[in-house]
Amino acid sequence: MKCIKTVKFKIKIADKSFSDTISIYNKALSYIINAIENEWVIISTLSTEKEQLNYIEKLIHGTKKNKAKYDFDSRFYKFPSYLRRAASSEALGAVKSYHSNLNNYLNKKAQYEAKGKTLRDKPPTLGIIRYSFPVFYKGNMFERTGNNTAKIKVYKNNDWVWHNIKFKTDNLKNRDMTNFKEMNPSLVKSGKKYYLYFTYEKEIKFKNTPLKDRTIISVDLGLTNSAVCSAMKYEGTVIGRLFINQPIEKDRLFHKINKLAKTQRISGNGRKPNIWRKINNIKNQIINDTVHQIIEFAKSYDADVIVFEHLGKLQSKGNYARRTRIKLQFWAKQTIQKKVYDIAHSYGIRVSWINPKNSSALAFDGTGKVVRNNKKDICEFTTGKKYHADLNASYNIGARYFIREILNPLVEKKRLQYQAKVPEIAARSQQTLSTLISLVKAMQSQCGCVA
């Protein structure tokens, strides 16, 4: 599997030719999209993408042995060949996407008409006018002349010429990207600034540790803590714990949300961009710090898998401030899981999800339902024992992962034999850490060894 990361470097001194280059590229892209759409009846019959691109090349680019049907070469004089092929590939993808959406629309319309109904959805349209950014292929369009200097080929004074640039560099060691391969950059305009977006690739091999030797990190994205992590082994042994919380940032976040709610009451439901900007900045700080700590915790225990709960549907009740806090917390959980997924893969660590039902409601020792206090941070078992609520949930999350991995490869007869000894494995929503421990003991007693 390939791990791909993108890093942007700001170009220090912008030039008008950058804007002209992006503009001429998008005009060429629109021209090629229009040509592909006109010839789609023939292009769609070609079996491979390589054959389709070769056919498009012959349509728009003339040679001694080929007379082009479209006057692309005269309209876009000296247009670089690598840039033309990049535009052709992007244009082909746009037209393919349009026709795929169109077919889906027509099929849906036919289904509605068969039932005597009218489909009110609008048919898809092909966007001819685009705003994309050109890729500068190394050697043909881009050449490094130093660590933070290079020359790129740009459209200037009605010609394509080499232009020297300086850009800010970034220490890739801080991003753990020393073994990544640098790919071709893109010239991107953001606001009034220009950047080089470099893509870095690395071939990743996931760990294939046997289940009995596997170490996992179970993560509960809780209510009171940003996350609670437990490092767990196959037998249910917990070898490490981590509580992640940002009390200062959360206090600032809740203060800003309350300020936003007060402003809404006074001035109505208009947008408050300045307050929302501060809220989003604090939220992003909490997210990034949580992700970083989860990854570092997984690396410290040489973990094979990071396990999360599947996030349910968003349910927000209460006043405006409370609803906003719940929404931000839900969105933050989604972003944390996505970022951990991307970063963990770069270290060869897998990410898995389990059924979240009752993971927090059941005691890890198998004594049944728990009761939480008003702050929701402490839960009380039926035996009177009090425990950290999110830590209890993280134990059950890790246990459910191992139970699933143990049971999935088993034949039905074997599964029923273990189910007779450990009835809780029949329903995933009832599985706890004690279920895993009982299951492993049952397997050991039956075969005399750890499976």
Per-residue pLDDT reduced to its tens digit, 103-138: 999 999 999 999 999 888 999 999 999 899 999 998
**pLDDT > 90: what percent of the chain?**
52
Question: For the CA atoms of 56, 62, 68, 71, what is the dihedral angle to 10 degrees?
Answer: 100
Mean pLDDT computed over 20-24? 94
The CA–CA distances, whole Å, from 204 to 133, 180, 322 equal 28, 10, 42
Encoded amino acid at 360, one letter: S
Mean pLDDT lowest among 48-57, 124-133, 284-293, 308-317: 308-317
Closest CA to 368 of 353, 379, 356: 379
Encoded amino acid at 407, one letter: L
* Domains of the chain with CATH codes: 1-203 (no CATH), 211-447 (3.30.420.140)
The pLDDT value given to residue 269: 59
Angle at CA of residue 407, ends 404 and 408, nearest 5°: 80
Mean pLDDT computed over 327-346? 88
Give the chain's mean pLDDT: 88
Helix (H, G, I), strand (E, B) or coil at 264: helix
- Identify the residue with better confidence: 174 or 168: 168
User: For residue 67, with 0-12 CB atoms within 10 Å meaning exposed, 13-18 middle and 19 or more buried, which class applies?
Assistant: exposed
Highest averaged pLDDT of the listed ranges 87-91, 164-168, 251-255, 369-373: 87-91
Quickly state the pLDDT bin for 314 (edges 50, 70, 90). low
**pLDDT > 70: what percent of the chain?**
95
Q: Is the pLDDT of residue 450 over 50?
A: no
pLDDT tens profile 380-417? 899 989 999 999 999 999 999 999 999 999 888 888 88
Mean pLDDT computed over 304-327? 79
Pairing of strands 238-244, 227-232: antiparallel
What is the rounded CA–CA span in Å between residue 344 and residue 164? 37
pLDDT tens profile 95-111? 999 999 999 999 999 99
Radius of gyration of the chain (CA): 29
Quickly state the pLDDT bin for 315 (edges 50, 70, 90). low
The pLDDT value given to residue 340: 93
The pLDDT value given to residue 227: 92
Number of H helices, E strands in the chain: 11, 15
The pLDDT value given to residue 229: 94
Q: Is the pLDDT of residue 270 over 80?
A: no
Helix (H, G, I), strand (E, B) or coil at 180: coil
Quickly state the pLDDT bin for 447 (edges 50, 70, 90). low
What is the rounded CA–CA span in Å between residue 142 and residue 150? 7
pLDDT tens profile 54-66? 999 999 998 888 8
CA 69 to chain centre: 42
Closest CA to 309 of 328, 333, 342, 325: 333
The pTM of the full predicted model, rounded to 2 decimals, is 0.74
Q: Is the pLDDT of residue 448 over 60?
A: no
